[in-house]
Amino acid sequence: MTDPGIPPVPDRWADLRPRMISAIVMLLVAAVGIWLGGPGFSIMVIVLSALMLWELATITVVKASYGPFGLSPVQRPLMLAALGAICLAIALFSPHALAAALLLVPVLAFALTPGRERPLAALWAAGAMITGFGLITLRNDAGMVAIVWIALVVVTSDVMGYFAGRILGGPKFWPAISPKKTWSGTVAGWVGAALVGAVFWQMGFAPAGLIVFSTLVSFAGQMGDIAESWIKRRSGVKDSSNLIPGHGGFLDRFDAMTGAVVLVVLLSLVFSLPLPVGGQ
């Protein structure tokens, strides 16, 4: 029996079961969407982007009784999420090249809406819009294999970082912003990403440069995770929402994907990247 005067030792694996169940469900949904491609995948990504914007607005928008245009605290996040979904859909499906400029409209809306940390919120809104646009464009232009690769890089980096951090422990990576993230978990994530890149190279989907690039994408994903943790810390919340058991919200779960996709999209504007290609 334990001494009632001694506080119980925290279980390092207490959140593992709900995290695993939620992860399996999300992976199954994502796998179906990636395999289908086309409108089905586009709708899934647009809804995901809208949910991320809704959570972002919920934790950053000032909870005054009524704000601009007479919107209540409940209506404002919904309005920003709907605005993001509409602008993303038009930017994707409009034949006019200038329609892509609509991706900036939700960013401007976040910058102008009264709230905590408006510059950070606007910057993350830009990341969410770029991620939605980038995922759908990448799926249409490079094929299914490219989406599978970036998803595996993010997931493998997260899983290996989770287990290495809890088993090996050690110095914290950035304790002021993300107290649980360790250097051992961070480096393990890089190793896992490099292994994913090596597998795709060996399978003939991409050149050997994908190995190094996968590590860079993993690092960008980790920075996305830290950036989202910073916003939550500054806003005084633990999770972006409670929509996903064991994971918090969609912003919590797809913060690393946001960082990874933003890096790929921005670098693709300047360089020819060693991306895997294949699948319809």
Separation of first and last alpha carbons in the chain: 59
Give yes or no for residue 197 having a pLDDT over 50.
Answer: yes
| 164 and 274 within one domain | yes
Expressed as residue numbers, the domain containing 213 is 144-280
| 250 and 189 within one domain | yes
Q: Are 224 and 257 in contact (CB under 8 A)?
A: yes
Q: Give the pLDDT mean for 260-272.
A: 95
Q: Is residue 182 within a helix (H) or strand (E), and if so which, with residue range?
A: strand 178-182
Written as six digits, the tokens of 174 are 């950035």
| 83 or 9, greater pLDDT | 83
Q: Using a pLDDT cut of 70, give the percent of the chain over it.
A: 87
Least confident of 98-102, 146-150, 151-155, 193-197: 98-102
Give yes or no for residue 2 having a pLDDT over 60.
Answer: no
Q: Are 46 and 89 in contact (CB under 8 A)?
A: yes
Number of domains in the chain: 2
Residue type, 136: I
Mean pLDDT: which of 18-27, 54-63, 64-73 is highest? Answer: 54-63
Give yes or no for residue 115 having a pLDDT over 80.
Answer: no
| 272 and 178 within one domain | yes
Question: What pLDDT is stored for residue 9 in this prediction?
Answer: 43
Residues 208-251: tens digit of each pLDDT: 999 999 999 999 999 999 999 888 888 888 888 888 776 678 99
Band of pLDDT at residue 99, cut at 50, 70 and 90: confident
| 151 and 38 within one domain | no
| 159 and 134 within one domain | no
Band of pLDDT at residue 66, cut at 50, 70 and 90: low
Residue type, 216: L
C-alpha dist (Å) from residue 54 to 30, 44, 49, 199: 20, 15, 9, 36
Question: What pLDDT is stored for residue 138 in this prediction?
Answer: 94
Written as six digits, the tokens of 153 are 């890089």
CA distance 43 to 29: 13
Least confident of 48-57, 162-171, 187-196, 258-267: 162-171
Written as six digits, the tokens of 26 are 């999300």
Mean pLDDT: which of 63-72, 117-126, 129-138, 223-232 is highest? Answer: 129-138
* Average pLDDT for the chain: 86
Q: Which residue has the tokens 């921005």?
A: 266
Q: What angle do CA 96, 127, 166 make, to 5 degrees?
A: 150
Q: Are 243 and 51 in contact (CB under 8 A)?
A: yes
- Close Cβ partners of 154 (under 8 Å, ≥ 6 residues apart): 217, 218, 221, 256, 257, 260
Give yes or no for residue 64 having a pLDDT over 70.
Answer: no
Return the number of other C-beta atoms located less than 10 Å from residue 99's C-beta.
15
| 22 or 5, greater pLDDT | 22
3-state helix, strand, coil split of the chain in percent (to 5) is: 70, 5, 25
Q: Give the pLDDT mean for 165-179.
A: 78
Of 88, 119, 141, which marks where a domain is finished? Answer: 141
| 70 or 109, greater pLDDT | 109
CA distance 121 to 56: 7
3-class secondary structure, 176: coil
| 53 and 180 within one domain | no
| 130 or 164, greater pLDDT | 130
Cross-strand pairs, 174: 178
Q: Is residue 124 part of a domain?
A: yes
| 88 and 209 within one domain | no
Q: Using a pLDDT cut of 90, give the percent of the chain over it.
A: 50
The pTM of the full predicted model, rounded to 2 decimals, is 0.86
Written as six digits, the tokens of 44 are 């899934």
| 256 and 178 within one domain | yes
Burial (0-12, 13-18, 19+ Cβ within 10 Å), 242: exposed
- Close Cβ partners of 120 (under 8 Å, ≥ 6 residues apart): 60, 230, 231, 234
